[in-house]
Every structure is written in C-alpha cells, then in structure tokens.
Chain A
Amino acid sequence: MTEQNFEPVIVGFLCQWCSYTGADLAGTSRLEYPPTLRTVRVMCSGRVDPTFVVTALADGADGVLIAGCHPGDCHYSEGNYRAMRRYPLLMKLLDQFGIEKERVRLEWISASEGDKFARVVREMTEQLKALGPLNWQKRSAALSGAA
C-alpha cells in the first residue's frame, strides 16, 4: 500500500451498553463513516486494560479508540471513571514511547449518539491519514536487528 491511499486501521473498544449500541444506531440510521474501525465489544470501558491498547498498537493498529458511557451513566456505576483515570497516564506513557497522542482516543458515546460515533470515526480516520501508518512491529524489528 502506498502512502497516498493509506487506509488506517483503528481498533475500537466499545462498551456494550452505550457506545456499541451507539455504533449500532449509526448503522441503522445509515450514517456514513469510513470502514477503518475494527470493533471489539467489551462489557465496560473500565475493562480496557492498557495492555489491550499497547497490544493493538504493537500488532498493527494505527490507532485505538476507547469508547464508553458518559460519566455518571456507567452500567456498573463507576467503570468508565476507571477508564477516565487511566487515560492521561496512558497518554503520557505512550508519548514516552514516541506514539503520537492522536493515535489513542477516549470518547463518551451514549446509545443515542450514533451521529457522534460516526463523527469520531471520521475525525480519527482523517487524523491518522495525516499522521501515516504506525508500523510498530516492522520499525521495532528493524531497530533491534540494526547493528
């Protein structure tokens, strides 16, 4: 694939109560958004261990979207607060690894916000296209193999 027609791969961890349902709504409402998202349905945004995020980035994703219920709306009352608290630390850590902040995004998307879901995927896709591929594994292998 050339740089010009680069289609980013985004791994999206969507909480099943709000954001996954919001994604469903975007579909049933026939809202258009790019086919860049690979959805992983999780029970709660609080279940998204930072290990999942680094694994996705190391294994070929160009970006990661974590989406959960709005604060105060969590099905498990405070799971999304865990996601909220981890996020700035994770971003700081990823910055130290040399990973741009546009690549990992945390969004609150309710079951009725199909339009927001589509907009977030569109925006993220544009940002990642501008950044270009992450290619972590290949770049990492090239460096550790380098004498």
Chain B
Amino acid sequence: MAKPKVAFYWCASCGGCEEAVVDLNEAILGVVEAVDIALWPVALDFKKKHVESWEPGEVAVVFINGAVRTSEQEEWVKLLREKCPVVIAFGSCAHLGGIPGLSNSTTREESFKRKYFDSPSVDNAERVLPQRKTRVNGYELELPEFSATVRKLDDVIEVDYYLPGCPPVPKLIVEAVTAILEGKLPAKGAVLAPEKCLCDECPRKESKPEKVTIERFRRVATEKPDPEKCFLVEGFVCLGPATRSGCGELCIRGNMPCRGCFGPTAETRDQGAKFLSAVGSLLAADQEEKCAELAATLADPLGTFYRFSLPSSILKQRLS
C-alpha cells in the first residue's frame, strides 16, 4: 500500500514551527517511514503548479503554520483547503493569530512607517515603501497585497484541528501524527492538547498560597523571579490561569512566567479578558485611587494579556 501523503505550509510566521518538526529528532524517522512529504517549502522545492495538479484527497493532511496577512497566503491556504481532506492549524499563529497578530494593536500604515522609516536599523532616505506593482528594467513586478489586519487561519478557511503552541511541542506533534495514522482523531474542531489549565499542571503549584495578592506588577526584563515561588505572588504576570496546559511547562521550568502561547481552554472565549478577570481581582488594593496606581504599573495590558491571541479575541483589533 502506498504511504499516505502529508504537506506542510507556512504563512505569517517566524520559522519556529518548522524547527519544531525538526525537533522531533529520531521520532521524525518514524514519521518519514510512515508518510510521504508532498510539500514542505522550508526544506524541499515545490511550486504552486505541483499543488494545483494534486487530485483532491491525494494528500491526506496539511499542517499550516502562521497567521494570514497577505493575499498570497490567502490564495495558498484556500488552494490547500481545496485539495486536502484534513487541515491542521499548526502553532499559535495559525491557531490564534500569534505574535504577528499583535500588529492588530496598530494600523497597517503605522506598521509600515515603523518597519520602513523609523526603525533604528533602517536606512531608507528615499522613503521607499513596498508597492503592489513596480517596473524594473521594463518588467512589471508584483507583490502580494498586505491586508489591513492579521487573521488567524480559521478566519480564512475551515480548519479541522488545532495544534497549539509557540511552537507546538514534540510530544503533541507525535501524538497528533499517530492519531492521524491510526484514524483515531477526536471530533472535528478539537484542539489537540489537554483541556486542563496550566496552573493545574504547574510544578510550582504547591508554593501558591490560599490567597494570592499582587502588591505591584514586576517585569522579568528588570527583576529576577524566585526560582520556586508562584510568579503571580511575586507580581510577575504569568498567564497560567488563562492558558491551556500540555506544553510540559517549559517556560516555568526555565524560570520564565507563562506567556499564554497555548491559548485558552475550550471553556474560555477570550483569553485576555479572562486573564484580566483573574489577575485584576488579585490586586492588593481596597481604594479606587490605589487600584488605579497599581494598574498603572503594568505597562501594556493588551500586549501582555493577548500576546498570542489578539486576532482571536472578541474585539480582534484596535479601531481608531
């Protein structure tokens, strides 16, 4: 029997999800043994025409990482959706919008201005911006459209399953691939990770007092967290209470608070608002002025609470 074919594709992402596949180490040999890779732009050369020539269903599964920002990405994911019976959103960006989704806290114009004019490493005296069409040596060159907002994958195409994480951890990838090969996938739309929240699995759970209070917000950039205490008790924003478990608590074990890349559990609609609900009520203040003072010590609630999930939040983006 011919091996089943799988595909990998990337959109607005950093390449870390590709690394995650390589991070499978020896386990990848088992995967390669069991399947044929029909498309993987980071490692193998394929063109769009090859994908267009696939019979529908010929490639069983596609893993798509990255958020959708350009018209080219939109075209590709729509094509892959047409060809593949199972589409898996791979990693935080495809799942929730991810880090690229943070640019929904500003406008496309502001993003371009920062990137092409104001960034300290940019030398652009002629103030050139990317254009849809440019003439060079008599040829007309085209760039994809850069959309006004970042969208997560299921805002553009139907998604069958989600593998969360920045990037997804090897254990969950292997479990997902095994489930696919054995035909033991859960109900469509599932996130292929546990339904418990991270605090339930936290190695520092025992250090958490009955009543947690936050005296002031602190930042890991300027202060070092205690290697054993609950981060929240010390005032370091840790998104554990509003984040799904399954990551192996890698950040916590590295003495870094959770940043929320696995997104919320199925019971939570909006990760940032839910985290605000939890952490806001822990502030050590009983007067309105004091509450305001404490809130002022947190520089960027939007970027902190929605670090990976802005495009999947209820409000989705800044409007001004």
Contacts and interface: CB of A to CB of B under 8 A. Distances in A.
Interface of A: 46, 49-51, 53-55, 57-58, 71, 81-82, 84-93, 96-98, 136, 139-140, 143-144, 146-147
A49 B285 contact: no
A84 B294 CA distance: 12
Given A50-B276, A51-B269, A147-B145, A85 B315 contact: no
Contact of A96 (B147, B280, B291, B318): B318
A53 B291 CA distance: 19
Contacts of B301: 89, 92-93, 96
Interface of B: 71, 105, 145, 147-149, 151, 155, 269-270, 272-274, 276-277, 279-283, 285-288, 291-292, 294-296, 298, 300-303, 305, 313-320
A144 B148 contact: yes
| Secondary structure call for the A interface | helix
A93 B281 contact: no
Residue in B147, B294, B295, B315 with the greatest tally of chain A CB atoms within 10 Å: B315
27 contacts: A46-B281, A51-B273, A51-B274, A54-B313, A58-B314, A84-B288, A85-B282, A85-B294, A87-B291, A88-B296, A89-B276, A89-B280, A89-B295, A90-B280, A92-B298, A93-B272, A93-B305, A97-B302, A97-B317, A97-B318, A143-B148, A143-B149, A144-B155, A144-B316, A146-B148, A147-B71, A147-B145
Nearest to B108: A146
A85 B270 contact: no
Nearest to B275: A50
Given A84-B288, A147-B71, A98 B320 contact: yes
Contacts of A54: 270, 273, 313-315
Contacts of A71: 286-287
Given A96-B302, A136-B319, A144-B316, A86 B280 contact: yes
3 shortest interchain CB distances as A-B pairs: A86-B280, A88-B295, A96-B302
